[in-house]
Structure 1
Amino acid sequence: MVYVLGVNLPDRNLVKFALTQFYGIGHVTAARICARFQMHRTCRVRDLTPLQVTALASFLSSPKDSLSPPRYPTATPDFVPSTKTHQELAMEFRADRLRRETENKQPEFILRRLRDKRIRPDLLKDLKIEAELKQEVRENIAHQKMIGSYVGRRHAMGLPVRGQNTQNNAKTARKLNRVERYA
């Protein structure tokens, strides 16, 4: 078993399913984390290298401080592959880079990426797990109770909040009516 941030990850599980052992990580987030660390979908916890386990633990401990994954430029729709040799392309690239450095401009693909609205911000930067997420949930419930909302009152009485059935609906309704009469 791999022990990461107080959570045991079973050796036989796939990494994307083992990550769901953390409070606050679901299947979609686990898949994003696996993609970020380039773990294929059939990778098991026992197959992780110590470097990958360390990188995963450091990311999960503070996602805001971690570096974003590198973004590689993609070809434009009008791209046509060149028939030049590798040496000719290398010479052309060096000359273009030298010209750009003298002009002190950014490459076209970076400017295109900045203009492109399809590039989304890193969704894993705002990831909250375990104690931090539980604290936020507690604060939200306390806020609901403090403002006296319907949901807050149901939390305070220990009743279902999202429309679930209780074991005795009549008793619950009487209890809630009593509270509303005095409120």
Structure 2
Amino acid sequence: MHILGVALPERHFVKHALTHFYGIGNATAARLCARVQVHDRCRVRNLNETQVTALTAFLASPSNSPTVPALPLAAPDFAPPRLGAKFTPPQVQPPPDMLREIKLETDLRRQVRDNIAHQRMIGSYVGRRHAMQLPVRGQNTKSNAKTAKKLNRVERWA
């Protein structure tokens, strides 16, 4: 099955298949499945058309998706009965929706590329390591053969 140009394996659980999208990990995939009401153990081949449509619509534009209700299990005007006292339910703020800010595929790749270009432009240590195609996050370069080959390269003119 293809969703937005990404091939999802038919035999995988939906939660694991969604990690094929660039920018979606395990935790985000679990939240996304809960958001579009897909069971944990549902496989991609068992999705019905409404679930596929909901998933595609959300991934196409997460910022335009409908908001999650603050109290999904009770009506907002629900109040437990009190004897003799007038009870006003507290105002509940909905938790911030992390999935509305998600960036996927091309947008995320562009953002990462721009961040690296910014690091190179300002001349930071990280930017210089990126420019030389060396490890950026403190990995060992002494004993790794591929990195040592880059470091000890000799320019030879034929």
TM-score category of the 2 structures, normalised to the smaller one: 0.7 to 0.9
Call closer, same or farther: CA 1:20–1:81 in 2, change over 3 Å: farther
Call closer, same or farther: CA 1:130–1:150 in 2, change over 3 Å: same
| 2:105 equivalent to 1:126 | no
Amino acid at match of 1:60: L
SS of 2:92's equivalent?
A: helix
The two structures have a TM-score, normalised by structure 2, of 0.79
* 1:36 corresponding residue in structure 2: 35
Amino acid at match of 1:140: N
* 1:46 corresponding residue in structure 2: 45
Uncovered stretches (5+) of structure 2, i.e. residues with no partner: 83-87, 154-158
Deviations 1:37-86 (CA, angstroms, capped at 9, x unpaired)? 111111111111111111111110110111112332667xxx8679xxxx
Uncovered stretches (5+) of structure 1, i.e. residues with no partner: 83-107, 176-183
Higher gyration radius (CA) = 1
* 1:85 corresponding residue in structure 2: none
Q: Distance in 1 between matches of 2:72 and 2:17?
A: 32
Map of 1:52-63 to 2, 5 A cutoff?
52-63=51-62
* 1:113 corresponding residue in structure 2: 92
**Once the two structures are aligned, what percentage of the paired residues are identical?**
56
* 2:156 corresponding residue in structure 1: none
Task: Tell me how large the CA RMSD over aligned residues is.
Answer: 2.5
Higher normalized helix content (fraction of residues): 1
SS of 1:112's equivalent?
A: coil
Call closer, same or farther: CA 1:73–1:128 in 2, change over 3 Å: closer
143, 150, 173: which one aligns with 2:125: 150
Call closer, same or farther: CA 1:74–1:54 in 2, change over 3 Å: closer
Q: Distance in 2 between matches of 1:48 and 1:155?
A: 42
SS of 1:113's equivalent?
A: coil
* TM superposition outliers: structure 1 runs of 4+ over 3 Å: 79-82, 168-175
Call closer, same or farther: CA 1:13–1:74 in 2, change over 3 Å: closer
Amino acid at match of 2:63: K
Deviations 1:5-43 (CA, angstroms, capped at 9, x unpaired)? 110111111000000000000000000000101111111
